[in-house]
Chain A
Amino acid sequence: MTSPLVHARGLCKEFGDLVAVDGVDFEVRAGEAFGFLGPNGAGKSSTMKMIGAVSPRTGGDLQVLGRDPDERGQEIRARLGVVPQEDNLDQELTVYENLLIYGRYFGMTRKVINERIDDLLSFAQLDERRDSKVEPLSGGMKRRLTIARGLINTPELLLLDEPTTGLDPQARHLLWDRLYRLKRDGVTLIITTHYMDEAEQLCDRLVIMDNGKIVAEGSPRDLIEQHTRREVLEVRFPVGTQEEHAAQLEGLAPRIEVLPDRVLLYTDDADQTSVDVHAKVEPESTVSRRATLEDVFLRLTGRTLVD
């Protein structure tokens, strides 16, 4: 087996009294899409910055591409692609020029960059925007350009920090499609997200982070199987009465979770549970669905991810 591209043991990041990353262990292997899932403030972005060799760790061990980022950050950065959470493109420049100057930062020759740009523009579906300025581009286009920019140096590892935050659904799906293609082409991806569906769609393996710690690790399917039941029945009662109604549902499912706006029943057969529920109470509505990572998260942290 080849050695992992990223290897972290007891990795810590403290900002004064604030512990952003609190002793995490993980490994990212070549060719996989690895995710950090968690709410805002869980320590995902801090971890990404340490991997990206732009933030020194305050404790533990970290190896990226077999090197210590504190000592050989420049070499590591030369072989990484980074897609930050906020687009930091040069607004005054054109799409083409943004890619060109970025390639130059990596020391690539103009000839090589120009060949690469043709491929990247078609990959990012921006061929027709080649000579447009960046400023008027849509959010989805800017994000695709930022991803194309992160790929200019043909990186071995691409870091994506919340790649679809703030995009409309259509733009998200287009972006996911592009990320699938990268994965298919063998690019190793590390993705942070607070969207469950994104993690389920894109990640082969992921860790769930909360308060700077890793609370679970595995493939999306493993996590769902290990930490929750197969199906979920969502039951909605009139506003403010979820708690009192939930008490009457005791015993109808192996686990019941009360949210501010609805009650969740974790079960292996949601349809049967629905029949049982209706026999006892009259809810405003019920929805049965498959269990998702969100349910895993709720189980592990006792709260929902929406924040």
Chain B
Amino acid sequence: MTLVHSGRVVEASARVYRRTWRGSVISTFLNPILYLLAMGIGLGKLVDDGSGAANLGGLEYLTFLAPGLLAATAMMTGAGDASWPVMAGIKWRKTYDAILATPVGVFDLVVGHLSWVGVRLLFVTVVYSGVMTAFGATTIVQGALAVPPAVLTGLGFAAVITAYTARLQDEQGLSAMFRFGIMPLFLFSGTFFPISQLPGWIQPIAIATPLFHGVSLCRGLALGVEFEVNPVISVAYLVGLLVIGTLLATRLMRHRLIK
């Protein structure tokens, strides 16, 4: 029954998205192009002319950067969809109360919400992968291989951040999370440069972050290079994040909405 109920939450989300997609679709296409142009080609020129190639294992900077950005974009999308829309459902619009007055339960709601985020992630990462291929950073097949780990990365973040949002009283906590959580991860998890460039004591911290594992998987698959960590560990880490995040989100959402 749960799957059926969650499916209906996905269906309703898709219907809302049909009315609101214009706001997000431009950024979905434009962001990867802008990033790859500015960072990959602009900054990349400097890196490739300098000592870059040696530290990047012989890769061009654009090629090195693109799969990392794929994982980071998935993280951003997952985090975004698990914050303001969830806050609206809980507090601003109270649409979650309306849903929970029907046979749909809290777990169904959480799973349905995350499934919808998964659909969105699939769309965003496929587009990104296409842009990467157009920039010559990967091939169609390898680019497609990097999509599932990118979606998994986004879902892991979405689950944990849904749980976080379920406890928040107002949106200040969301801005703080992006500023002090998501942005540092975006910058220091091996997306823009190998973590071997970080001071030695920070490296273990970078390795412990979920985004680093997402980046490692995407880069390894998209470029056919060696994974930075054992991919089994990375997949287990991200799946664990998704499962624990989902259970935690259900628990906290129930505490918040079923009083």
> Are B105 and A74 within 8 A (Cβ)?
yes
CA distance A49 to B5 in the complex (A): 21
Q: Check A102 against B98 for contact (C-beta < 8 Å).
A: yes
- Whether a CB of chain B sits under 8 angstroms from the CB of A92 is yes
Mark A48-86 against chain B: 1 for CB-CB distance below 8 A, else 0. Answer: 010010111000000000000000011101101010101
Query: Does B141 have its Cβ within 8 Å of any Cβ on chain A?
Result: no
Q: A90 to B93, Cβ gap below 8 A?
A: yes
Minimum C-beta distance from B206 to chain A (A):
39
The verdict on A200 contacting chain B, using a C-beta distance below 8 Å, is: no
State which size class the interface on A falls in.
Answer: 20 to 34
Chain B interface residue count, CB cutoff 8 Å, equals 26
Q: CB-nearest residue of chain B relative to A77?
A: B103
Name B105's closest neighbour in chain A (CB-CB). Answer: A74
Q: Which residues of B, 85-130, contact A by the 8 Å Cβ criterion?
A: 93-95, 97-105
Name which of B8-16, B66-74, B180-188, B239-247 contacts chain A.
B8-16
Tell me the smallest distance from the CB of A151 to a CB of chain B, in Å. Answer: 13
Whether A93 touches B102, Cβ cut-off 8 Å, given contacts A49-B259, A88-B93, A104-B11, is: no
Starting from the known contacts A90-B12, A105-B8, A105-B102, 20 additional A-B residue pairs (CB-CB under 8 Å) come to A55-B259, A74-B103, A77-B102, A84-B101, A86-B94, A88-B98, A89-B98, A90-B16, A90-B93, A91-B93, A93-B16, A93-B19, A97-B15, A101-B15, A102-B102, A104-B12, A105-B9, A105-B103, A105-B104, A106-B103
User: Is the pair A88, B16 in contact by a Cβ cutoff of 8 Å?
Assistant: no
- Tell me the nearest residue of chain B to A82, going by C-beta: B101
Q: Is A107 part of the binding interface, using a Cβ–Cβ cutoff of 8 Å?
A: yes
CB distance A52 to B258 under 8 Å? no
The reply to whether B259 and A101 contact each other, CB–CB distance below 8 Å, is: no
Indicate if the CB atoms of A77 and B4 lie closer than 8 Å: no
CB proximity of B71 to chain A, nearest CB, Å: 30
Q: 4 closest Cβ contacts across the A-B interface?
A: A105-B102, A88-B94, A101-B12, A82-B101
| CB neighbours of B16 from chain A (8 A) | 90, 92-93
For the complex, what is the distance from the CA of A101 to the CA of B103, rounded to whole Å? 13
Of chain A, the residue at the smallest CB distance from B94 is A88
Residues of chain B within 8 A (CB-CB) of A149 are: 98
- Give CA–CA (A73, B259) in the complex, Å: 14
**CB of B169 within 8 Å of the partner chain:** no
Contacts of B99 in A (CB 8 A): 105
Question: How long is the Cα–Cα vector from A55 to B98 in the complex, in angstroms?
Answer: 14
**B20 interface hit (Cβ, 8 Å):** yes
In whole angstroms, what is the CA distance A96 to B256 when docked? 30
- Most A CB atoms within 10 A — which of B4, B19, B103? B103
Q: State A153–B104 Cα separation when bound (angstroms).
A: 14
The answer to whether A92 and B94 have CB atoms under 8 Å apart is: no
Provide the residues of chain B in CB contact with A49, threshold 8 Å.
259
- The answer to whether B98 touches A78, judged by C-beta atoms less than 8 angstroms apart, is no
Residues B4 and A107 in contact, CB atoms below 8 Å apart: yes
User: Contacts of A97 on B, CB cut-off 8 Å?
Assistant: 15
Q: How far is the CA of A82 from the CA of B1 in the complex (A)?
A: 22
Most A CB within 10 A of own CB, among B1, B12, B104: B12
Give A residues with C-beta under 8 Å from B: 15, 49, 52, 54-56, 73-75, 77-78, 80, 82, 84, 86, 88-93, 97, 100-102, 104-107, 149, 153
* Cβ contact within 8 Å between A88 and B15: no
Contact, CB under 8 Å: B101 / A101 = no
Question: What is the bound-complex CA distance between A107 and B11, given in angstroms?
Answer: 12
Q: Which of B1, B15, B97, B102 contacts A84 (CB 8 A)?
A: B97
Find out whether the CB atom of A90 lies under 8 angstroms from the CB atom of B95. yes
Which residues of chain B are within 8 angstroms of A92 by Cβ–Cβ distance?
A: 16, 19-20
Measured CA separation A52–B259 after assembly (Å): 12
- Give CA–CA (A15, B259) in the complex, Å: 8
Cβ contacts under 8 Å, A74 to chain B: 1, 103, 105
Q: Which of A56, A93, A101 makes the CB contact (< 8 A) with B258?
A: A56
Give CA–CA (A271, B172) in the complex, Å.
62
Q: Are B98 and A77 in contact (CB under 8 A)?
A: no
Q: Give every chain B residue within 8 A of A100 (Cβ-Cβ).
A: 15
What is the chain B residue whose CB lies nearest that of A53? Answer: B101
Give every chain B residue within 8 A of A89 (Cβ-Cβ): 95, 98
Which residue of chain A has the shortest Cβ distance to B106 in the bound complex? A54
Q: How far is the CA of A101 from the CA of B16 in the complex (A)?
A: 10
Q: Distance in Å from the Cβ of A184 to the closest Cβ of chain B?
A: 25
A152: min CB distance to chain B, Å: 9
Which of chain B's residues have a CB closer than 8 A to the CB of A80?
101
**Cα-based distance from A77 to B106 in the complex (angstroms):** 13
A55 CA / B16 CA spacing, docked (Å): 28
Residue with the highest number of chain B CB atoms closer than 10 Å, among A49, A54, A91, A101:
A101
Q: Which residue of A lies closest to B97 (CB)?
A: A88
Q: Chain B contacts of A84 at CB under 8 A?
A: 94, 97-98, 101
Nearest-neighbour CB distance to chain A for B25, whole angstroms, equals 15
CB proximity of B201 to chain A, nearest CB, Å:
45
Chain B residues near A82 (CB, 8 Å)?
A: 101
In the complex, A54→B101 CA distance in Å?
7
B85: min CB distance to chain A, Å = 11
Within 8 A of A (CB), among B1-36: 1, 4-5, 8-9, 11-12, 15-16, 19-20
How far apart are the CA atoms of A102 and B98 in the complex, in Å?
A: 9
Residues of B within 8 A of A102 (CB): 98, 102
